[in-house]
Structure 1
Amino acid sequence: MEGKKKDVTIYDLAHELNVSPSTVSRALNDHYSIGKKTKKAVKQLAEERGYRPNTIASSLRTNRSNTIGIMVSWINRPFISSLISGIEKAARESGHQVIISQSYDKPELEKDNLQALYDSRISALIVSLAMGTTDYQHFDLFTNNGIPVVFVDRIPSIHDVHKVHINNFNAAFEATEHLIDQGCTRIAHFGGARHQSIYEDRRSGYIAALKKNNVDVDESLIIQATSLNAEEGLRLTEQVLELENPPDGIFCANDTAAVSAIQYAKKMGIRIPEELAIIGFNNDPICEIIDPPLSSVDHPAVEMGEAAIKQALAMLEGEIATDSATRVTLDTQVVVRASSLRKG
């Protein structure tokens, strides 16, 4: 494995542009005394050369800190908080600290925050993509400079990356087949953005289970959401229950939307699970609090975090090449509770 590249300094940029180091510094800081043309040239070269401002202690000039960067969508989601817990615990045990950033499911914010993590001289990066991310070029800044990147849960739809995930197709197949086994014949699916492989796989697993069991695939019952938050869960449940032939089962791609489905159905006087069986995904703590308790697919967040940090540390130690591709797939299972249990 090749060693990390030497840090690019403002002196290197100044020499290449044939200007003074102070001009480079002022241009990078948008000083009023520097013209727009010069600022553009300096910033463009800085990006091309992978320049990182030395924003932390000079002891980090060794090119390797003891800090792992974490980029996730929403810190307040139970799955994500458990994922972070697994990463942080394993990182601490190995003598590393973590810096956590969230994208709020916005690709542009993800990109900006990744730049901040890079400028903080992190030694490795663990990422769960924003819902809307379809372009992965902003990760080149890390991989081109030898910084390990591990994707977890929401992973890119490309093959040459390091990733930790579950078999979302199989998990969705089993969840859907559970509803079929309980007597459901019209099963709705609330999914996430299909360009995210986890939601595409869950949709595919759902459809495969229907076809295997000779249940009609009704496109009016398959809805791809934009965020799968509580409000969207309520809206989608209202939408499918107002159909001329409403569903008798719902498989949600997360527990947040599934809980909203229970709440809306109960408000409308629909009996769960007798008239509408519901199952979610993630096995969040709220599954045991909502009435009736929500069936769900267990999503081993802590273990996924531990596996991700293990991959990152292996790259830092030279045991795995950063420019290779590795995959860790963890097991999962359907956790049956009262929201879907029609048969004893």
Structure 2
Amino acid sequence: MFKPITIKDIAHALELSPSTVSRALSDSYEINEETKKRVIEYAEKHNYRRNPIASSLRHGRSYSIGVVVCEVANSFFSQAIDGIESVAYGKGYHVIISQSHDAYEREVVNIQHLANRAVDGLLISMSAETKDFSHILKLHEQGLPIVFFDRVIDDFETHTVTSDNRKGAKQATLSLIDRGFKKIAHLANAPHLSITAERLEGYEEALRQCDIPLDESLIRYCHHGGRVQEEVDEAARYFINLREKPDAIFVASDRLSMGCLSAYNKLMPRESHPAVAGFSNSDVLDLLQPGFTCIRQPAFKMGQVAMEMLIQLIESRYPVYDFENIVLETELIQR
């Protein structure tokens, strides 16, 4: 039966006290550099790993972080998770990832489960269906550190990390206008999401800048965030059946972009498709529509920054009252 090496084993082998070994592994100033080097080299050679249960009992922490996203298969979130892990593991934390699939009930269950596992903090990107935030507010009031990224709420003060959604949406819409399109529809995410309002603002700003009247009938919302393909198909059929069909569509999210292009492929010949530009961190969409113009978010960096902020909250010795709302730049990719 496998038995991992312990601090006592290292102490016995090097003829040191367990407390000396523990302080050496923690890089304590009380231990001289030669002893630290001996201990660390021996620990690495024998594959020593800190016992998370012992550490949690000793420090009052589990050294685990809960991450809640809508879907790991989504290119944006998989890249953000890579950024989260790159920071977490370097700081000695483990990451537990859960998917809401943009469903409110799943999000509630996942967050409660993570809290019951005594995670040290939560990184959350809200589900498209969530309008009631009481399950998060309760944990915040109990003192659990929480940081939001991408899809945020402002029901209480904490750190947030987002991309410049308004500017990105404006760039995407202007790219369609620059190509000669004038009747540009907007396929939006759930109306209550933070990203939805910001991206709608950018779309409207681009139209105003080019003296194109806003037509409310060209805006459609997907309340399930693309989780239900039938909802996206219905939006595409709506655009197709308009007397004056849009010649281009600005799509507000990665998942919706995939769903929108899939819907049009099912409903009409490719040569009749409107031009599409939208938010996406995936390279697959270019296969569905060659020349797909997209706004790419700095997902990896967003994950890194969010994780760094959460660790600051967790490890702070004093209550934190000054919070930051970090906004990262997006990139327009024109193929």
Scaled by the length of structure 1, the TM-score of the pair is 0.75
Q: Is structure 2 residue 182 aligned with structure 1 residue 185?
A: yes
Q: Compute the displacement of 1:82 (Å).
A: 1.4
**Are the structure 2 counterparts of residues 298 and 221 from structure 1 closer, same or farther at C-alpha, using a change threshold of 3 Å?**
same
Cα deviation for residue 66 of structure 1 reads 0.8
Q: Give the aligned partner of residue 194 of structure 2.
A: 197
Kindly indicate whether the alpha-carbon contact (under 8 Å) linking 1:314 and 1:320 is maintained by their aligned counterparts in 2. no
Aligned with 1:165: secondary structure? strand
* Structure 1 or 2: more helix by fraction: 2
State which of 56, 60, 78 in structure 2 corresponds to 1:60.
Answer: 56
Counterpart AA for 2:188: G
Q: Structure 1 residue 184: deviation in Å?
A: 0.8
Deviation at 1:228, TM superposition (A): 3.7
Helix, strand or coil at the partner of 1:146:
coil
Amino acid paired to 1:102: Q
**Partner in structure 2 of residue 45 of structure 1:** none
Give the aligned partner of residue 281 of structure 1: 279
Number of aligned residue pairs: 280
Does the residue aligned with 1:238 lie in a helix, a strand or coil?
A: helix
2:327 match: secondary structure? strand
Equivalent residue, structure 2, for 1:317: 315
Contact 2:128 2:225 in 1 (8 A): no
Between the aligned partners of 1:205 and 1:291, the Cα distance in structure 2 is 23
SS in 2 for 1:112: helix
Write the deviation string for residues 123-177 of structure 1: whole angstroms up to 9, x where unpaired.
Answer: 1110001112223222234323333210000100446221000111111111111
Residues 255 and 118 from structure 1, CA distance in 2 versus in 1: closer, same or farther, beyond 3 angstroms?
A: closer
What is the aligned-residue identity percentage?
A: 32
Q: Give secondary structure in 1 for the equivalent of 2:113.
A: helix
Task: Look up the match of 2:3.
Answer: none
- Which residue is 1:257 aligned to? 256
Q: 1:198-217 CA distances to partner (integer Å, 9 max, x unpaired)?
A: 01111121112111211121
- Give, in angstroms, the shift of residue 264 of structure 1: 4.5
Correspondence list, 1:240-251, <5 A: 240-251=239-250
Matched position secondary structure for 1:113: helix
Separation (CA, whole Å) in 2 of partners of 1:108 and 1:183: 44
In the alignment, the residues of structure 1 paired with residue 260 and residue 136 of structure 2 have an alpha-carbon distance, to the nearest angstrom, of 36
Structure 1 residues 179 and 321, CA gap change in structure 2 (3 angstroms):
farther
Structure-2 change in CA distance of 1:258 and 1:119 (3 Å): closer
Query: Superposed, which structure 2 residues align to 1:97-246 within 5 Å?
Result: 97-158=94-155, 160-229=157-226, 230-246=229-245
Note the aligned Cα RMSD (angstroms).
2.2
Contact 1:68 1:96 in 2 (8 A): yes
Q: Is the 8 A contact 2:75 2:281 kept in 1?
A: no
Structure 2: which 5+ residue stretches go unaligned? 1-51
Q: State how far apart, in whole Å, the 1-side matches of 2:265 and 2:286 are.
A: 17
**Aligned mates of 1:159, 1:332 — CA distance in 2:** 26
1:74 aligned onto 2:91 = no
Relative to structure 1, is the Cα distance of residues 263 and 192 closer, same or farther in structure 2, using a 3 angstrom cutoff? closer
State the match for 1:269 in structure 2.
Answer: 269
> Tell me, what secondary structure is at the counterpart of 1:133?
coil
Cα distance, 1:190 vs structure 2:
0.3
* Partner AA of 1:309 in structure 2: M
Q: Which residue of 2 aligns with 1:7?
A: none
Which whole-Å CA distance do the structure 1 matches of 2:118 and 2:211 have between them?
Answer: 55
